[in-house]
Amino acid sequence: MASEFVIVGAGSAGCAMAYRLAMAGRSVTIIEHGGTDAGPFIQMPGALSYPMNMGIYDWGLKSEPEPHLGGRVLATPRGKVIGGSSSINGMVYVRGHARDFDTWEEMGAQGWAYADVLPYYKRMEHWHGGPASEYRGHDGPLHITRGPRTNPLFNAFIQAGEQAGYPVTGDYNGQQQEGFGAMEATIWKGRRWSAANAYLRPALKTGKVQLIRALARRVTFDGLRATGVEVRRGGVLEIIPAAREVILAASSINSPKILLNSGIGPAAQLRSHGVAVLADRGGVGQNLQDHLEIYMQFAARQPITLYKYWNLLGKAMVGAQWLFTRTGLGASNQFESCGFIRSRAGIDYPDIQYHFLPIAVRYDGKAAAEGHGFQVHVGPMRSKSRGAVTLRSSDPEAPPEIRFNYMSHPDDWDEFRRCIRLTREIFGQQAMQPHVKHEIQPGAGYQTDEELDNFIRQHAESAYHPCGTARMGRADDPMAVVDPQARVIGVEGLRVADSSIFPQVTNGNLNAPSIMVGEKVSDHLLDKMPLPRSNLEPWINPNWAQSQR
């Protein structure tokens, strides 16, 4: 018998929807190509550099050569596993700034302003970060914690930000994002608290949710009404029928690809690949956005960094302690302090984010040559560059072509140079003097605009926050793909609910807003009244027009 709802993708949004639909007594089938999330590589927070680089857990997608980054090809990891990217990400929890969502509404996403989405953030959270706050949720499925910050470098970084004249914030996910403070993570009792742990496992226990391992190829239609999903399961093509609706939650790369393969997208592109046009929607796959960042690395004066564990014995000890007790360094993602600042006067809310890490190492696990060191990941939050996800061929199983078009807008270069110079000033503060020996990367030899631009061109990396490829907007907006209820415009019975629908990238990491989208869209699927709007106001720096800090 057909389930009422078929969800493609057991990721951040898909798991949240399955849980809410099941709790309301609805029958759900989730299609997920990836396998189990069991085992220490995913469940141990300290092992986060592994699953992102393992083909068993990652789709292995790559960008096309990026013309403004010297033709480099950048990895685009997306989770191919239960929990999706929430099972392979850095576990950093950032809602985004209130202004992000007010901007969404201004761009046509009616009902998605900060006042509308805050109640959904509160519904999903179980916050352990401090005394009760009216901005935070306290009994939701998603546990949010803070690291112990026992390494003195974490607080030295926050103090240096304060000494440089920036605010300190007690909770960047609460009233005030701007400033330096403790970073939050989806970690609970020493484990990665992914969407699979928070939502999918409880949903499966209801008996209302069926999980199918298969590769989704395209949505099937009767006329303009979605009726199911064509999948390949065990080498055989079959159709998983949906009695009510199909929801794509397959990532900002795979959701537009499935739409295109289903005949929904720019007509000329579809025809060039021999795909019959069902709905000519020019925005499908367009508006691709991401965050770029660089790792600014510093050699340490004192041997207090995590480098002392960066050997076989050290890793074995950390791993053993975690396996037996769920405590120690393995129980943290090591991103325990952070900052959000504005790059210049006249910008009303932060456009630069910092992740501080007490070791100099890359995402692929390569440590800096100099031994003891630490680093900060920094980059602009609101790049004006836009890219696209397009079909590579008529084969629905071929990976799509991904062109981010990074650094294609001249403002990006100015913003990135500001990031580097403001960061150097922070690390030059008194609180960092006992710790900073010298700058490893970029290094003292990079000072002029041209030198910094060369460094950025060679070393900027994706922060792995792709979004925007099925943009939400008004139903009469020719470039919008879904309406504010996440319904695909031009067809019936089909929605998209993941980071694809973001009109603009949010200020920070994308796991939290992706889960929020799943929470909010589940109420639309159930024809429920949205949660009552909040009247809480965010803090905006009163001197933003005149001053950078």
279-302 tens-digit pLDDT: 999 999 999 999 999 999 999 999
- Choose the catalytic residue: 68, 143, 435, 465: 465
Domain ranges of the chain: 1-97+194-288+466-537, 148-182+292-380+408-459
> 256 near 222, Cβ under 8 Å?
no
Residue 147: name the closest of 112, 193, 186, 199 by CA: 186
Residues of each annotated binding site? 81, 89-92
**pTM of the entire structure?**
0.98
d(CA 3, CA 5): 5
Average pLDDT over residues 197-209: 98
What is the β-pairing status of strands 187-188 and 184-185? unpaired
Q: Which residue has tokens 């990941």? A: 377
Which one of 3.30.410.40, 2.60.40.10, 3.50.50.60, 3.60.20.10 gives the CATH number of domain 148-182+292-380+408-459? Answer: 3.30.410.40
Helix (H) or strand (E) holding 219: strand 215-222
Residues 6+ apart with CB under 8 A from 240: 6, 29, 31, 212, 214, 228, 229, 231
Helix (H) or strand (E) holding 346: none
* pLDDT value of residue 363: 65
pLDDT(53) > 90: no
Query: Which comes out higher in pLDDT, residue 415 or 365?
Result: 415
Q: From the CB of residue 70, how many other CB atoms can be counted at a distance below 10 Å?
A: 10
Q: Which residue has tokens 């950048």? A: 74
The dihedrals phi and psi of 39, each to the nearest 5 degrees, come to 105, 155
Distance from chain centroid for Cα 167: 25
Write down the CATH number for the domain with range 1-97+194-288+466-537.
3.50.50.60
Q: From the CB of residue 41, how many other CB atoms can be counted at a distance below 10 Å?
A: 19
Average pLDDT over residues 302-320: 94
Local confidence band at 52 (pLDDT 50, 70, 90 cut-offs): confident
Residue 163: CA count within 13 A, CB half-sphere: 16
409 included as an active-site residue: no
Local confidence band at 361 (pLDDT 50, 70, 90 cut-offs): confident
Residues of each annotated binding site for FAD? 81, 89-92
Q: Tell me the pLDDT tens digit for each residue of 67-123.
A: 999 999 999 999 999 999 999 999 999 999 999 999 999 999 999 999 999 999 999
d(CA 513, CA 120): 10
DSSP secondary structure letters along 65-90 = PBGGGTTB--EE--B-BTTGGGGTS-
Helix axes 12-23, 511-525, angle to 10 degrees: 30
Q: From the CB of residue 179, how many other CB atoms can be counted at a distance below 10 Å?
A: 23
Residues 6+ apart with CB under 8 A from 133: 127, 171, 174
Burial classification of residue 69, based on how many CB atoms lie within 10 Å of its CB (0-12 exposed, 13-18 middle, 19 or more buried): buried
Residues 6+ apart with CB under 8 A from 306: 151, 329, 334, 358, 359
Sign of the C-alpha dihedral computed for residues 44, 54, 73 and 406 taken in this order: negative
